[in-house]
Chain A
Amino acid sequence: MWTWFYKLASPPYVYGAAAALAPWFLGLAAITIGYGLVAGLAFAPPDYQQGDAFRIIYVHAPSAWMSLFAYSSMAVAGAIALIWRIKMGHAVAAASAPIGASFTVLALVTGSLWGRPMWGTYWAWDPRLTSELILLFLYVGVMSLRSAFEDPARGDRAAALLAIVGLVNVPIIHYSVLWWNSLHQGATVAKLGKPSMPGSMLWPLLSMLLGFMLFYGAVLCMRLQGEVLNRERQAKWVREAIKS
């Protein structure tokens, strides 16, 4: 297990693995998102309270979930880089940040468009919405901090520290609907054993969740290749990688 772990510290291995995995992730993402879209838009029945407006869940929930997942991945990669001094951890964190930020924007915009017909407003300073907005500011902060230093290594370390500190916001977002009075609905899928949706609504949602996760994996691999090349520009193995 440790051999595999230390292999991850090798830039050529990471570059090769990312190049090999990206098309698989992208292909599987296309299939699962395609199924989720068709089943969610055409075959899932309207909600008994929200009517067809509930279909926004098929893009809102996966993007919100991925905004948390990408942030957690970024913080864990940053922590690994700081603790074990594995440079590739910083590369993963740097590649993850813009993808996570884009998912956060998507979650905020789709949530806003869903809120207008359901709550009568596009925005409310509700605990869930506010903590998700703070997550976007954290992403922007981490990306800005990384590029604010002349020495890239210092920028990486500062960004990793901020990402780790900001991780405290992730459980706050998740449990905000339980801890405070919130306009936002409670957990729909994560209620273990008894999700509050019938299968015809749930399966497309799970498929979209899986699809967004695979898509994140594909884009992460693509960005990671660029990130590794930027960091290893002078290395010998890069010559072979560029020729291929």
Chain B
Amino acid sequence: MGGYAGYVWPCFLFACVVLAWNLWAARRYHAAARLRAARALLMAAGDAS
């Protein structure tokens, strides 16, 4: 990297971390929303019976 490896590689590593965090956080957010919705439905079913 012509003497710039200490600057170039951390940039690419940090980019990978940010992209991976985005994927993980989005999946986790969706999973948590599904769980909350399922609980709300269960509670509604419980109230109805």
Contact = CB atoms under 8 A, between A and B. Distances in A.
Interface stretch (A75-83, A199-207, A226-234): A226-234
A234 B44 contact: yes
A166 to B, nearest CB: 21
B8 A55 contact: yes
Given A52-B2, A102-B21, A226 B8 contact: no
Given A222-B26, A222-B30, A226-B30, A56 B7 contact: yes
**A-side binding surface: helix, strand, loop or mixed?**
helix
Interface string A81-123: 0000000000000000011001101100110011011000000
A58 B7 CA distance: 13
A222 to B, nearest CB: 4
Contacts of A215: 19, 22
Contact of B29 (A59, A110, A226): A226
Contact of A229 (B1, B3, B26, B34): B34
Given A222-B27, A229-B36, A117 B7 contact: yes
Interface in A188-244: 215, 219, 222-223, 225-227, 229-230, 232-234, 238-239, 242
B4 A53 contact: yes
Contact of B33 (A55, A59, A98, A230): A230
Nearest to A222: B26
A233 B11 contact: no
Interface residues of A, number: 39
Interface residues of B, number: 32
A223 B7 contact: no
Given A51-B2, A219-B22, 18 more contacts: A52-B8, A56-B7, A59-B14, A60-B11, A102-B18, A105-B18, A106-B14, A109-B11, A110-B15, A219-B23, A222-B29, A223-B30, A225-B33, A226-B29, A226-B30, A229-B36, A232-B37, A242-B41
Please list the 5 inter-chain residue pairs (A to B) with the smallest Cβ-Cβ separation, ordered nearest first. Answer: A222-B26, A226-B33, A229-B33, A226-B30, A59-B15
Interface of B: 1-5, 7-8, 10-12, 14-15, 18-19, 21-23, 25-27, 29-34, 36-38, 40-41, 44
24 contacts: A41-B12, A56-B7, A59-B15, A60-B11, A63-B18, A102-B18, A105-B18, A106-B18, A109-B11, A110-B11, A114-B7, A215-B22, A226-B31, A227-B33, A229-B33, A229-B36, A230-B36, A230-B37, A232-B37, A233-B36, A234-B44, A238-B37, A239-B41, A242-B37
Interface of A: 37, 41, 46, 51-53, 55-56, 58-60, 63, 98-99, 102-103, 105-106, 109-110, 113-114, 116-117, 215, 219, 222-223, 225-227, 229-230, 232-234, 238-239, 242
